[in-house]
Amino acid sequence: MKYNRGSVLSLRLKGIYEDLSNNYEKAIEYYLQSLQAARNIRAQEYELAALSDLAIAYFSIREPEKAKQFYLQCARMTESDGKIPSLINTYNNLAVIYTQLKQYDSSHLLLEKAVQLGQPLERQGRISLSSTYNNLGNLYFKEKKYEEALPYFRQNLVRHNNDSDLSALWVAKLNLADVFIEKKQFDSATIYAEGAMKLAERLESKSKEADSYSILAKLAEYRGNYSKAYAYIKKWYSLDTAILHSDTYKTIAALQERFHASEREAENKLLQEKIEKETLRSRELTLVAAALGIIGLLIAIGFVIKRNAHRRLKATNDLIIQQNEKLSELNFEKNSLISIVSHDLNTPFATIQIWGQVLQNDANLTEEQQKAMNRILQAGAYGERLIRQILDVERADIGNHKMQLEKFDLRAFTEEMADNFRPMAERKKIALHTETSGKKLFILSDRYLVSRICENLLSNAIKYTPRGKNVWLHISEEQDGICIRVRDEGVGIDKEELPYLFSKYSKLSSRPTDGEASNGLGLSIVKRIVEEINGRITCESEVGKGSLFTVLLKK
């Protein structure tokens, strides 16, 4: 048939067989032969497959550095080839290696590239970025950034619930269980850990059952139930050891086969080794003397290099000190300029507001003139508020605010907040509801900063909620803290944009429903205020159904 690729395919199939039989040494030997055969006939697609096979095999025997070398070759080939799905797959594989090597920055860079390349294709339904999101979640988990990892694992849970991929669904549930264990939210962790175990049993996978028992043991340990943890560990050990024994037996068999083949050769070399032993002994003395001389020379060179490096370091430090002094001067000038500009801009805006109100009270205005005057007043108020927000962010006004602690009643505070925002809500026919417990709730905190938090969240909720819908302000007591929740029936936020929600000047795809202005500063200010008073803020949202912002403050 003159089919020149038969050798490449045959060698690769032999490698795959040995790989699945856990005989990795033989598998690597076949994969290397397949790689050479592919290069001989210049078949790039099979060369790429062989490189990927080798990387996976080395990863399986816990040699990530060698796996990385082959994946880097894959990356260079796929980048020159320009096939985006292959490139995304290679970036994912490399990112997993970098995560295992604790080179987290490199892993972030590769996964971000994979997301940028893949999102247009995913929207067209041509590929799935499920593996990329799972890798991002694992990367944040390794960095102990559990809040950042959580959205990615949840996203994959929803995705695989829909596509019925049970194996991927098991991974998502196991990851969610691990995150909730670290967050000490044990009820949620239990649900996902037990769900993962049921899937492992349904898939009849011993390795998945072993991993599920491992996570259940960790959960029991964190909850202080050590007897239960011990029972799970024994089950994990029985499964894991059975798998290990199978691998070990095959490895030993291969070692014995090689040993018998080399035993005869060893006997032939025995006499020759005795002769060479005496020769080597005399050489060793010469080598030791030479080595001592080289070590002395290296020490001298090292001393000179270290002294020169110290001089360069001192010069660099002096330069850094000078630059820092200059930056401090420039920063002081910048802050002074901001103060001057803010003072000067506040005056004309205040003047606009005063004269606008005077003109608005004139009964002789026509309906069109009254409408124009309302717009002038709204623009003036917006400009004044924008100046204050810019100053909060750029001049770090929150950090310079002198904390004034006072004990105040949150029930009265809630009603006051709602009354302030009801006119704004009524203009859009939005019903603003308040929900508090029956008893009085007191908190010791800075009333001004708590007001700023509620103002921003309520303003955003009304802005992003369509006419005729509802907004809720709910305050409750939870253990040793106070929980403030602002919920709306607005446009919602895309899950992919949630990690960037509290970034400064972030511009999201969601837009106000009535043409209101949005500058991307409000939520970054809220986050800074919450952190300033030792609180936490989270957001849950679904596009088209609304958002829930939760602020937890200590009493």
pLDDT in tens, 120-143: 988 888 888 888 888 898 989 989
Q: Looking at residues 420-445, what average pLDDT do you find?
A: 87
**What pLDDT digit, counting tens, does each position of 45-100 carry?**
888 888 888 888 888 787 888 888 888 888 888 877 778 888 888 888 888 888 88
Percent of the chain scoring above 90 in pLDDT? 22
Instruction: Indicate the pLDDT class of residue 215, thresholds 50, 70 and 90.
Output: very high
Cβ(160)–Cβ(168) under 8 Å?
Answer: yes
pLDDT at 409 > cutoff 50: yes
Q: What residues form DSSP beta bridges with 406?
A: 445
Q: Which residue has the higher pLDDT, 549 or 532?
A: 549
pLDDT of residue 284: 75
pLDDT at 547 > cutoff 90: yes
Q: Which residue has the higher pLDDT, 511 or 477?
A: 477
Instruction: Indicate the pLDDT class of residue 396, thresholds 50, 70 and 90.
Output: very low
**What pLDDT digit, counting tens, does each position of 258-270 carry?**
434 444 454 555 5
Give the closest residue to 176 by CA, choosing from 202, 203, 149, 158. Answer: 149
The rounded mean pLDDT for the chain is: 81
Amino acid at 204: E
Q: Looking at residues 8-13, what average pLDDT do you find?
A: 92
Instruction: Give the integer Cα–Cα distance in Å for 203 and 226.
Output: 29
Q: Which residue has the higher pLDDT, 495 or 317?
A: 495
Percent of the chain scoring above 70 in pLDDT? 82
pLDDT of residue 195: 93
Highest mean pLDDT among 20-29, 233-242, 248-257: 20-29
pLDDT of residue 72: 87
Collect all residues with Cβ–Cβ distance below 8 Å to 132 and sequence separation of at least 6: 88, 92, 111, 114, 115, 118
pTM of the predicted model, to two decimals?
A: 0.42
pLDDT of residue 260: 41
pLDDT of residue 254: 44
User: Sign of dihedral through CA atoms 410, 415, 421, 425?
Assistant: positive
Which of these ranges, 200-204, 247-251, 278-282, has the smallest mean pLDDT?
A: 247-251
Both tokens of residue 8?
A: 């490449």
Cβ(361)–Cβ(355) under 8 Å?
Answer: no
Give the Cβ contact number of residue 9 at 10 Å.
Answer: 16
What phi, psi does 373 have (nearest 5°)?
Answer: -65, -40
Both tokens of residue 91?
A: 């970036």
Instruction: Give the integer Cα–Cα distance in Å for 145 and 179.
Output: 9
Cβ(520)–Cβ(501) under 8 Å?
Answer: no
**What pLDDT digit, counting tens, does each position of 452-465 carry?**
999 999 998 999 99
**What pLDDT digit, counting tens, does each position of 377-395 carry?**
888 777 777 776 666 555 4
Angstrom distances, CA of residue 203 to CA of 77, 173, 200 = 36, 14, 5
Give the closest residue to 134 by CA, choosing from 155, 118, 148. Answer: 155
Q: Which residue has the higher pLDDT, 238 or 188?
A: 188
Query: At 301, is the secondary structure helix, strand, or coil?
Result: helix
Both tokens of residue 198?
A: 């049921």
Q: Looking at residues 159-171, what average pLDDT do you find?
A: 87
pLDDT of residue 275: 59
User: Sign of dihedral through CA atoms 415, 416, 421, 426?
Assistant: positive
Amino acid at 238: S
pLDDT of residue 511: 78
pLDDT of residue 64: 84
pLDDT of residue 192: 94
Strands 481-488 and 470-478: antiparallel
**What pLDDT digit, counting tens, does each position of 353-379 carry?**
767 777 777 667 888 888 888 888 888
pLDDT at 10 > cutoff 70: yes
